[in-house]
């Protein structure tokens, strides 16, 4: 139910209008065969505000009336014809200065350097995803005391560089990308796609993370209904859609939120909080009620109007810590003398409470690079209320391990076993993300130490570990076929690499691993509870080896054994009583991996003896009888 218009300004200024886009921006009412467009914007420091447009003239503004004491301006414009997709801006006057600004609540935008807002009030899209939404609700409910006991394997995509048209290198539209991606995602066995930001942003090189049009899907790929088609197409084919969302900051482009009414408004006013020194962007003033209405409404807008299945909040650490990107003396402690931004803590609790009050089955994911405690704890338990958090510590330590000469990996063995020490402190996603394959960090295949052939072997072993460790999964596009080149946002992935046998084999391996993951609940039913994981071999640093058990809710088990050394290794591993252990999945095509082995009773304890080739891994299942080897 939307907020009554009469109360909308009150709730907006109070910070609790979570339908703010139905009050501010451009909204349409049809009556008496005419189109009545109401434009509203918030500009409390302005001397005057006017509307300029194609339909009313750009040189002579239609002046707007101030309708709240706290600075909301309004004008109604009547037309005999639809003005759908007509451009407009707000003219702000302050102290003799004039600014042309895009509408912060515009649902469509021309983007680029111009940034004119485009009227988009009449969606013609018809949703046909009810079956998916019902499935989503059932899939993400908690059963048997275990949270999110469902498979979650995410494919992260930058739409402008996943694939481009041959010849002119132009980007695919939302509709073209949907039709290509949905076939690929289904074939590869991914459950979700995560889109790097698709909100309107002026600069391609920001990858979408410097947003000016927060309510407008970028016009690079089409209009808002084209984006609805994209989401609907995914849902029709059983693929969830997660969207990167940027509530931390915004750029200083002239047409955006930057000093919107001539002075800091959406951003903090104090120099200690206002600006990111590294990014050159402005931080949202999370303590200001109207900003809270703007951001929380924005999150809910995409969940409601575009049926988005989850939001990944970007750069959460920059919001939570007052000393983020600042040196001693450049920041002021909070009222308790600490470095935490208490306004940001309150904001996230308010955000997630509002989201889950309306959508109990969506995902709210935090990219938080610090060590803030309780990111994924419920708000009522003192946490911030997110479902999931990226485990960036795991990723950084693991990549460092893989870059190390196997002769010296024993000194970094904690990269393999230490993550389990904190694996259940939060609800984690294990990410192989875009951030880790740019700026000289190397693609995943190039993070593997050694010569060409061994890189592929090690990558297969690394992916087996990633897919079988506790936590949900995410992989950035191009990783699945071992692209050597770092990610380039201006060009397509190097799909021609699939013409080379090793790269095609890697893509086929990832496809098989994804499907194995989906088919075996031991790998995902108990991701956030220590009852789902048990070490067999945790400390064998000298042989660069680990072995562990994953369990499902019924107590069924799979045994994972991984050898990161450059030599063949033999193991005698203590297991439960049984007759045979059979390898039901392996990382390579080496014939000398142990396929089957008898379980041997040694003084009342049971062991399986196996051999693994260099840089390899296997998944074993214990059978109680000599027969029935079906995995």
Task: Provide the residue count of the chain.
Answer: 631
| CA 103 – CA 213 distance, rounded (Å) | 8
The per-type count for the chain, helices as H runs and strands as E runs, is 14, 29
Q: How many CB atoms lie within 10 A of CB 589?
A: 10
Query: Which residues fall within 8 angstroms of residue 131, CB to CB, at 6 or more apart?
Result: none
Contact 280, 333 (CB under 8 A): no
3-state secondary structure of 336: coil
Query: Which residues fall within 8 angstroms of residue 124, CB to CB, at 6 or more apart?
Result: 225
| CA 248 – CA 250 distance, rounded (Å) | 7
Query: Which residues fall within 8 angstroms of residue 572, CB to CB, at 6 or more apart?
Result: 607, 608, 609
Strands 428-432 and 472-476: parallel
Contact 580, 598 (CB under 8 A): yes
Query: Which residues fall within 8 angstroms of residue 589, CB to CB, at 6 or more apart?
Result: none
Phi, psi at residue 351, to the nearest 5°?
-60, -55
Query: Which residues fall within 8 angstroms of residue 93, CB to CB, at 6 or more apart?
Result: 46, 47, 48, 49, 50, 99
Contact 18, 354 (CB under 8 A): yes
Nearest to 156 by CA among 279, 314, 320, 302: 314
| Tokens linked to 268 | 């903090």
Contact 365, 384 (CB under 8 A): no
Nearest to 20 by CA among 258, 291, 231: 291
- Cite the beta strand spans of 43-200 per DSSP E: 48-53, 57-63, 65-66, 72-79, 87-94, 97-101, 117-118, 153-157, 192-195, 199-200
Question: Does 486 participate in catalysis according to the annotation?
Answer: no
Candidate list 74, 223, 309, 314, residue with the active-site label: 314
| CA 92 – CA 99 distance, rounded (Å) | 5
Strands 117-118 and 428-432: unpaired
First to last CA, the chain: 50
Distance of CA 242 to the CA centre of its chain: 6
Candidate list 367, 368, 436, 480, residue with the active-site label: 367
Question: Does 114 participate in catalysis according to the annotation?
Answer: no
Phi, psi at residue 46, to the nearest 5°?
-75, 150
Nearest to 45 by CA among 10, 72, 67, 8: 72
> Active-site positions?
314, 367
């Amino acid at each position: 139910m939307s907020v009554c218009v009469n109360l909308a300004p009150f709730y907006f200024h109070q910070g609790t209008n979570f339908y703010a886009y139905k009050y501010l921006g451009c909204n349409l009412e049809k009556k008496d065969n005419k189109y009545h467009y109401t434009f509203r914007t918030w500009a409390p420091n302005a001397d005057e505000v006017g509307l300029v447009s194609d339909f009313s003239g750009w040189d002579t503004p239609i002046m707007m009336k101030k309708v709240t004491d706290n600075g909301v301006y309004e004008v109604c414009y009547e037309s005999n014809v639809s003005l759908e997709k007509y451009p407009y801006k707000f003219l702000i006057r302050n102290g003799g200065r004039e600014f042309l600004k895009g509408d912060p609540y515009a649902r469509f935008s021309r983007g680029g350097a111009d940034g004119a807002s485009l009227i988009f009030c009449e969606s013609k899209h018809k949703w046909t995803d009810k079956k998916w939404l019902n499935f989503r609700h059932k899939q993400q409910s908690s059963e048997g005391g275990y949270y999110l006991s469902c498979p979650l394997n995410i494919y992260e995509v930058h739409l402008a560089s996943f694939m481009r048209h041959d010849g002119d290198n132009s980007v695919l539209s939302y509709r073209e990308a949907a039709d290509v991606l949905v076939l690929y995602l289904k074939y590869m066995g991914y459950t979700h796609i995560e889109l790097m930001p698709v909100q309107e942003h002026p600069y391609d090189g920001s990858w979408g993370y410097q947003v000016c049009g927060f309510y407008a899907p970028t016009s690079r790929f089409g209009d808002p209904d084209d984006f609805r088609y994209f989401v609907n197409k995914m849902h029709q084919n059983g693929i969830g859609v997660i969207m990167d969302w940027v509530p931390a900051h915004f750029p200083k482009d002239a047409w955006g939120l930057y000093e919107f009414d001539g002075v800091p408004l959406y951003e903090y006013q104090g120099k200690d909080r206002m600006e990111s020194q590294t990014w050159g962007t402005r931080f949202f003033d999370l303590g200001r009620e109207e900003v809270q209405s703007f951001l929380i409404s924005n999150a809910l807008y995409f969940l409601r109007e575009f049926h988005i299945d989850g939001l990944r909040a970007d750069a959460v650490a920059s919001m939570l810590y007052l000393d983020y990107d600042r040196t001693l003396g450049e920041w002021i402690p909070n009222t308790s003398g600490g470095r935490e931004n208490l306004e940001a803590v309150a904001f996230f609790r308010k955000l997630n409470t509002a989201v889950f009050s309306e959508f109990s089955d969506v995902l709210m994911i935090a990219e938080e690079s610090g060590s803030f405690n309780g990111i994924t704890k419920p708000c009522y338990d003192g946490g911030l209320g997110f479902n999931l958090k990226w485990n960036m510590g795991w990723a950084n330590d693991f990549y460092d391990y893989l870059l190390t000469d196997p002769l010296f990996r024993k000194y970094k063995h904690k990269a393999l076993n230490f993550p389990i020490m904190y694996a259940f402190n939060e609800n984690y996603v294990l990410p192989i993300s875009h951030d880790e394959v740019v700026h000289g960090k190397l693609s995943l295949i190039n993070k593997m130490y050694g010569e060409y052939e061994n890189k592929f072997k090690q990558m297969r072993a690394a992916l087996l570990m990633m897919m079988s460790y506790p936590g949900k999964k995410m992989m950035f596009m191009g990783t699945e076929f071992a692209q050597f080149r770092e990610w380039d946002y201006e060009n397509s992935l190097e799909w021609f690499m699939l013409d080379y046998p090793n790269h095609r084999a890697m893509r086929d391996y990832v496809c098989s691993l994804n499907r194995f993951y989906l088919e075996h609940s031991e790998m995902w039913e108990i991701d956030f509870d220590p009852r789902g994981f048990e070490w067999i071999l945790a400390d064998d640093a000298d042989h660069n080896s680990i072995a562990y058990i994953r369990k499902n809710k019924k107590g069924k088990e799979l045994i994972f054994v991984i050898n990161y050394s450059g030599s063949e290794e033999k193991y005698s591993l203590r297991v439960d009583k049984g007759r045979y252990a059979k390898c039901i999945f392996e990382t390579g095509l080496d014939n000398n991996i142990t396929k089957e082995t008898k379980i041997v009773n040694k003084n009342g304890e049971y062991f399986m003896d196996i051999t693994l080739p260099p840089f390899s891994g296997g998944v074993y299942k214990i059978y109680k009888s000599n027969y029935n080897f079906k995995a």
